[in-house]
Amino acid sequence: MITFLDGPAAREHLMCRRAPLFLRVVFNPRKRSDAWDALDQLNDQPKPSEQLHAYVRESPATWMHIKGTRKCTSGIYAVARYRLCETQPPDAVMRDTGLWQQWCRDAVTPK
């Protein structure tokens, strides 16, 4: 279970298969339920209607196995806590997977 400690997604919990160091979190104002989602998979793309927020993992990730029910598929899910990045990348960077990945690499590379 991914938990967001602050920012727009504060107190939200999402079931994700990955817990990368940096995570794009999206909010879709058109949805009444499940408005929050995370772009945790390498090929995930945001929809034009979604608002994007960059979060950074606060601690090492762990994993848990969930036996699924109607709302959740059985499998291994990440457990981690995230905080909003102090500096948010431009929207164009967040919407382009290649630019987002480069931003993540640049954020962890000492200058």
Low-confidence spans in the chain with pLDDT less than 70: 111
88 neighbors 44 (Cβ within 8 angstroms): no
**Count of structural domains within the chain:** 1
Query: What is the C-alpha to C-alpha distance for residues 11 and 61, in angstroms, rounded to an integer?
Result: 18
Range of the domain at 72: 2-108
pLDDT of residue 93: 97
Radius of gyration of the chain (CA): 14
pLDDT of residue 81: 97
pLDDT of residue 34: 80
Element (H, E) at 36: strand 36-39
17 neighbors 78 (Cβ within 8 angstroms): yes
- Residue 76 vs residues 3, 27, 28, 79: alpha-carbon distances, Å: 16, 24, 26, 10
5: tokens are 């400690």
